[in-house]
Amino acid sequence: MAGHVIEIARREGTEFRRVDLMLKDDGSIVLEGQDMGPAVEQVWGDTDYEYWVRVAPPALPKLAFELLAEKFAGQLDAVQAFQDWCRTHAVEHEFGNYA
């Protein structure tokens, strides 16, 4: 899945904005935005402004842990909900149990 890009938000019009999520070839995750329009030109003196946040591969376990904790906090069915989420998004996972 390396090198994968998805657009997660877009606003068309005079004040354009696009936000992309990328999985880079080096395994890092990048959330990148691009703004275009008169306000950008007024502030930056250019017609577009690009910006991003990159999370390097060594920090991805911490990122995943924090995002999952936030997403499933307070849910008594979190284990099943997480398994369902993994299935829906084709995330390789393993379910285990014992009694």
DSSP assignments along the chain, one per residue: -TTEEEEEEEE-SSSEEEEEEEE-TTS-EEEEEEEESHHHHHHHSSSEEEEEEEE-GGGHHHHHHHHHHHHHTT-TTHHHHHHHHHHHTT---------
The predicted pLDDT at position 2 comes to 58
Looking at residues 84-96, what average pLDDT do you find?
96
Question: In the prediction, which pLDDT does 59 show?
Answer: 98
Q: Which residue has the higher pLDDT, 52 or 47?
A: 52
pLDDT of residue 36: 96
**What is this structure's pTM?**
0.82
Residue-range domain boundaries for the chain: 1-55, 58-92
Name the band, by pLDDT with cuts 50, 70 and 90, for residue 3. Answer: confident
Per-residue tokens: 93 = 């996972």
